[in-house]
A = this chain, B = another copy of it.
Amino acid sequence: MIQELKDNYGHLFEKELINEIAQVGTFKEVPAGFTMMAIGDYIRGVPLLISGAIKVMREDKEGDELLLYYLESGETCSMTMNCCMGHTKSEIKAVAEQDTILIMIPVQKMEEWTTKYKSWRDFVFQSYHNRLNEVLHILDSVAFEKMDQRLVNYLKEKVRINNSNTIQNTHQEIAYDLHSSRVVISRLLKKLEQMGAIELHRNHIKIIDLE
């Protein structure tokens, strides 16, 4: 585990902290599509991502969803910290976007290291900082942009996260992520295809040029 920690967190944490993490952390492998956390779950630990990506979503009472952002390697879930600190239930849903490897840290250790290691403290603050900014950008997107622009942003982000020009999703899945309806998404995608920006296929979309 030491090696993976060094590779992904070596530039952030001092050696002693890496060693401590290796002692108390537990390795976890999660297959793509697996729901790692649902609304209302209690939190057992804080995850440190080693590889893969996790999709973080908001959900309302009717079960309507909205994609918030993706967690990538070298990142953690400040929402989880959020819950640990507040001793409240999860307010978000997390699903593995790809096959993902991560290390789970028990909650108590998190608090202990906050006192002990400046690098851990900075990491936690930085995580909060990043999440707050990401949620603000989603808010901008939902509040100020129209669906066609939101869709383009969504496709770009998917390309970036999965590092592939082919998006393996149905129109329905995209509609859920953007909290829209399948018909609307199909309509807008067709428009993008007619503009030559993408190519539509059953179960996948090829991105040509989204600028």
Contacts and interface: CB of A to CB of B under 8 A. Distances in A.
A111 to B, nearest CB: 10
Interface stretch (A2-10, A19-27, A43-51, A127-135): A127-135
A74 B204 CA distance: 51
A86 B131 CA distance: 13
Nearest to A128: B128
Contacts of A125: 85, 124, 128
**Could you tell me the dominant secondary structure of chain A's interface residues?**
helix
Given A64-B144, A115-B118, A118-B115, A58 B129 contact: no
A58 B179 contact: no
Given A85-B126, A118-B115, A121-B121, A139 B139 contact: yes
A132 B133 CA distance: 10
A85 B140 CA distance: 22
Contact of A82 (B58, B85, B133): B133
21 contacts: A58-B140, A58-B143, A62-B144, A64-B144, A66-B139, A66-B143, A78-B128, A78-B132, A82-B133, A85-B126, A85-B129, A86-B129, A91-B136, A114-B121, A121-B121, A124-B125, A125-B128, A135-B135, A135-B139, A139-B139, A144-B179
Interface of A: 58, 60, 62, 64, 66, 78-79, 82, 85-86, 91, 114-115, 118, 121, 124-126, 128-129, 131-133, 135-136, 138-140, 142-144, 179
